[in-house]
Amino acid sequence: MSQTGTGTQPGPGPEPGSAEESSTRERILDIALELFTERGYERTSLRQIAERLGFSKAAIYYHFASKEDILIELHLRLHEFGRGALSGIDPAGMSPELAVGILDRLVDQILGHRPLFVLFERNQVALDELHRLRHDAAHEDVEALFQQVLSNPEIALRDRVRMACALGAVMGALVLSEKMFPDVPSAELGALVRDAAHDVLMPAGSA
């Protein structure tokens, strides 16, 4: 708890927003992303992360105040990209027609940042815990948004279930894709998944 929350670090390192910084901080995040995904957040120790980077466990604490802070930083990145696909959604006025466009953008975001999405797909419990503790910015949270939409009784149940299915189809297929379709170009895969999602949201027999 000694460092400031997130992003503010000592020394002359590049700003958090700038790209292509290969600072130690970045390398820690990269390895953590890998290990958290493979072995899970809880099963991954700071020792293992440090080992891969060639230095000791304690060194990590210069860059992050806690293990949880590493996860939080990765979570922030997910939000960053998630917002790109979900900006300006009104939970009250949602419809399958609008959902088509949203899911299209989501497919692109997932394909562009697959490891990040896989990480959180495989560590839902750790994510939940994060949300329960720190509810900063929880309003703009992706999950909460979906909850609002899918629980909205103004929308026909059938449509809500379809939206849940479409979301599941997109997430499921793209998360599986790394193992199942490793050689398929992202563009091709994205097009196929989008088509499938469209058929869920707006089946041929509907208005």
Report the residue from 8, 11, 154, 157 that binds DNA according to the rule CB under 7 A: 11
- The residue behind tokens 């490891």 is 115
- The residue behind tokens 């997130």 is 6
Q: Which does 90 bind (CB under 5 to 8 A by kind): DNA, its own copies, none?
A: none
- What's at 59, amino acid-wise? A
Nearest CA to 195 out of 177, 170, 174, 176 is that of 170
Q: Which does 164 bind (CB under 5 to 8 A by kind): its own copies, DNA, none?
A: its own copies
Q: Which does 169 bind (CB under 5 to 8 A by kind): DNA, its own copies, none?
A: its own copies
Enumerate residues 81-120 that contact its own copies by CB under 8 A.
none
Report the residue from 67, 69, 165, 186 that binds its own copies according to the rule CB under 8 A: 165
**Looking at 17-25, 82-90, 97-105, 180-188, which segment touches its own copies (CB under 8 A)?**
180-188
Residue 63 within binding range of its own copies, rule CB under 8 A: no
Q: Which does 2 bind (CB under 5 to 8 A by kind): DNA, its own copies, none?
A: DNA
Q: Is 40 left (phi over 0), alpha (psi -120 to 50) or beta?
A: left
Per-residue binding string, DNA, 44-83, x by CB under 7 A, is xxxxx-x---xxxxxx-xxx-xxxx---------------
Are 163 and 96 in contact by the 8 Å Cβ rule? The answer is yes
From CA 9, how far away is CA 3, in angstroms rounded? 8
Helix (H, G, I), strand (E, B) or coil at 16: coil
Instruction: Please give the span between the terminal C-alpha atoms of the chain, in angstroms, as a whole number.
Output: 56
Count interface residues toward DNA (CB under 7 A): 26
- The residue behind tokens 């170009």 is 185
Are 202 and 96 in contact by the 8 Å Cβ rule? The answer is yes
Q: How many CA atoms lie within 13 A of 29 on its CB side?
A: 23
Token readout for 69 is 């802070």
Q: Which residues bind DNA (CB under 7 A)?
A: 1-2, 10-11, 13, 23-24, 44-48, 50, 54-59, 61-63, 65-68
Q: Which residues bind its own copies (CB under 8 A)?
A: 39-40, 42-43, 122-126, 129, 147, 150-151, 157-158, 160-162, 164-173, 175-177, 179-181, 184, 188-189, 192-193, 196-197, 199-200, 203-205
